[in-house]
Amino acid sequence: DRGGRLNADAYPPWAGLLAVAMLVTILYSAWGTRREIPHLPKAAPGNGEPMVRRLLRELGSAFQNLSFRWLFGGVLIVYIMVGVDSALNLYMYEFFWELSGNEILIVALMSPVGLMAGSGLTQALHRRFDKKSPLVAGTAGWAIFQIFPVVLRLAGWFPDNGTTALLVGLGAFKFLQGFVVMQALVTFGSMMADVADEHELESGRRQEGIFFGAVAFSGKAATGMGNMLAGIALDLISWPRGEAVRTAADVAPDTLVSLGMVYGPIVSGFAAVSVWCYTHYRLDRGQHRRVLEQLAEIRAGADRTNAGSATP
């Protein structure tokens, strides 16, 4: 049951399968949304400026937006935490919680189930609160539910390994973690669109691609950095190496405690920095409404001008 996860030869074909699946998914998404292209805002025509120079100039323009800078800083911290979490998950499941393959599958599936369940709440929260509140609450909630199981285990208040109660407890925390973080995921994208509106009003240019592209590219880099930091953390806690390391009995108890501390309180503690960044976001509901009204006036004026110039 544990052999496949500890078989190094199994990982290259698994990575290849995932790469193909991701490629197919991306192509299918692009093909399925092509009908939306005619309805997208038209980009301003180029002026012959080299592509790299134009990209750097537009990035610089985007980072002049204060709201974007705080959102960008906060989400980079989140991506680093996600990178560390994904790299250490197998170690936690295999050695800290000592779960079987089927148990890992059950626990891991509870997070996407929580995400889907949480998606029904986001719209109601946006109607009742400014978007900053669900973003902050979702980010903080992810960290809290990351910490709780580890802290409860180290305090001796969590079910023992190998019990049904442990499986239920871990599954419940993963479900709740997915449920609350969904509020942050959806809200962040919505806030980025609001920032694009604000930037258009200030600069006269519509640049969703720059904003979302900068976040997506930097997020990949930050997640990779998180994976690297996880490896450094394993070295710092003297995690044993070699094929002989197959169960928790092959790891010193103090090292297992250190693993739990890194995975739970230490990594999740960085969420406080992310939340601090998000609290500086100032584009509230009223401001965004005024931005949309001014944009509507500007666009209506442009349409009238174009219509007048087209009249013979």
Give the pLDDT confidence of 16-34 residue by residue, as tens digits: 999 999 999 999 998 998 8
Interval 83-109 mean pLDDT? 92
Convert the pLDDT of each residue in 278-289 to its tens digit.
Answer: 999 988 888 989
Q: Are 119 and 182 in contact (CB under 8 A)?
A: yes
| Whole-Å CA distances, 155 to 161, 257, 299 | 14, 11, 61
Q: Give 199 or 50, the one with higher predicted confidence.
A: 199
Query: Would you say 282 and 130 are in contact if contact means Cβ atoms under 8 Å apart?
Result: no
Query: Among positive and negative, which fits the CA dihedral 22, 115, 74, 201?
Result: positive
Give pLDDT, residue 129: 87
The pLDDT-based confidence of 178 (bands split at 50, 70, 90) is very high
How remote is the C-alpha of 281 from its chain's centroid?
18
Residue 1 CA, chain-centre distance (Å), reads 31
Position with higher pLDDT, 157 vs 63:
157
Higher pLDDT, 58 or 18: 18
Q: What is the pLDDT of residue 148?
A: 93
Share of the chain above pLDDT 70, in %: 93
Among 42-46, 96-100, 271-275, the minimum mean pLDDT is found in: 42-46
Instruction: Identify whether the C-beta of residue 174 lies closer than 8 Å to the C-beta of residue 107.
Output: yes
The widest CA-to-CA distance across the chain, in whole angstroms, is 86
pLDDT band at 186 (very low <50, low <70, confident <90, very high): very high
| Banded model confidence at residue 58, pLDDT cuts 50, 70, 90 | confident
**Would you state the pLDDT for residue 202?**
85
Average pLDDT over residues 249-257: 92
CB 279 within 8 Å of CB 136: yes
- At 162, list the tokens: 């190998």
pLDDT tens-digit profile of 142-162?
A: 999 999 999 999 999 999 999
Residue 56: per-residue pLDDT: 79
Which tokens sit at 194?
Answer: 């609001």
DSSP three-state, residue 282: coil
- The answer on pLDDT for 110 being more than 70 is yes
Banded pLDDT at 42 (limits 50, 70, 90): low
Give the burial class of 255: count Cβ atoms within 10 A of its Cβ; 0-12 exposed, 13-18 middle, 19 or more buried. Answer: middle
Long-range contacts of 96-104 (CB under 8 A, 24+ apart): 96/150, 96/153, 96/248, 96/256, 96/259, 96/260, 96/263, 97/161, 97/166, 97/170, 98/161, 98/162, 98/247, 98/248, 99/167, 99/170, 100/1, 100/2, 101/1, 101/2, 101/4, 101/5, 102/1, 103/167
Comparing CA positions, the residue from 144, 16, 22 lying closest to residue 81 is: 144
Question: What pLDDT is stored for residue 235 in this prediction?
Answer: 93
